[in-house]
């Protein structure tokens, strides 16, 4: 039996159908990759080198893909840093370390998830995949507009008017399986699927070897999630 729209699962007994999964190397996307495998898909992991300062996450993505298991892992370079406008791509803008504040922070990268999903959509069409998975979260997050359910729904609608597959009646689906979970719930889910979160990197200003600052929004949300989940935090911090 195939899964519901919110929990898609392939028909049992056949070959694993392809699905494209955006994999940043962080906690959330690693969890989504494990969910996709558990649901019976053959995940094709896509990581984007967009000029991010915390490049250790790309090495983390490779580790996670190898450990969880994927049909293929590709890294595509698109230099969003040439436009600037974000503390994650522009070294002249400081990453905030005072705590998570209301509003959209300077770590927001303009159009990042739109760009990433567009690339994932192109690969999905080539693969004949109808499922795209992204690890956005609208509960414990930094207030990014492209992490909300409205964005996911809007992009799915776009995908179905902008692609050959959609026009020919083979609908494309954009899935965000952890969008309504808090960080503790995400961590518990990932641990139940065997994820080693020590392999992941979430910090916005991680060192080249993946050590976290412990002070940026991503570090604070991650550390608080492990505390609320009641499990030891495996993150390697600088201090």
Residue 8 pLDDT grade (very low, low, confident, very high; cuts 50, 70, 90): confident
Query: 29-83: per-residue pLDDT in tens?
Result: 999 999 999 999 999 999 999 999 889 999 999 999 999 999 999 999 999 888 9
Cα–Cα distances (Å) from 76 to 106, 118, 119, in that order, read 24, 12, 9
**Domain ranges in the chain?**
18-229
21 in Cβ contact with 130 (< 8 Å) = no
CA dihedral 161, 165, 167, 170 (to 10 degrees): -110
- Which CATH architecture describes the domain 18-229? 3-Layer(aba) Sandwich (3.40)
Measured in degrees and rounded to the nearest 5, phi and psi for residue 47 equal: -110, 145
Question: 197: which DSSP letter?
Answer: G
Query: 121-161: per-residue pLDDT in tens?
Result: 999 999 999 999 999 999 877 789 999 999 999 999 999 99
Distance (Å, whole) CA 24 – CA 91: 20
Distance (Å, whole) CA 58 – CA 78: 13
Residue 6 pLDDT grade (very low, low, confident, very high; cuts 50, 70, 90): low
**pTM, rounded to two decimals:** 0.93
E-assigned strand segments in 144-211: 173-175
Helix (H) or strand (E) holding 192: helix 183-192
Residue 1 pLDDT grade (very low, low, confident, very high; cuts 50, 70, 90): very low
Burial 16-34 (b: 16+ CB within 10 A, else e): ebbbbbbbbbbbbbbbbbb
């Amino acid at each position: 039996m195939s899964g519901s729209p919110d929990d898609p699962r392939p028909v049992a007994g056949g070959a694993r159908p392809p699905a494209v999964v955006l994999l940043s190397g962080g906690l959330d996307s690693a969890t989504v990759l494990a969910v996709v495998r558990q649901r019976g898909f053959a995940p094709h992991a896509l990581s984007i080198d967009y000029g991010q300062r915390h490049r250790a996450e790309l090495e983390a993505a490779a580790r996670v893909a190898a450990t969880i298991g994927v049909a293929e892992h590709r890294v595509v370079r698109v230099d969003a840093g040439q436009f600037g406008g974000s503390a994650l791509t522009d070294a002249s803008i400081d990453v905030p370390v005072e705590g998570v504040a209301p509003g959209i922070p300077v770590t927001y990268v303009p159009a990042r998830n739109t760009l990433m999903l567009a690339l994932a959509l192109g690969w999905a069409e080539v693969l004949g995949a109808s499922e795209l998975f992204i690890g956005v979260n609208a509960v414990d997050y930094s207030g990014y507009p492209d992490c909300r359910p409205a964005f996911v729904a809007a992009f799915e609608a776009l995908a179905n008017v902008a692609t050959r597959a959609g026009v020919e009646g083979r609908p494309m689906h954009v899935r965000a399986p952890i969008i309504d979970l808090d960080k503790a719930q995400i961590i518990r889910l990932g641990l139940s699927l065997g994820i080693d979160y020590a392999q992941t990197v979430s910090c916005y200003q991680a060192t080249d070897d993946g050590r976290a600052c412990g002070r940026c929004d991503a570090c604070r949300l991650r550390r608080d999630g492990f505390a609320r989940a009641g499990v030891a935090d495996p993150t390697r911090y600088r201090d």
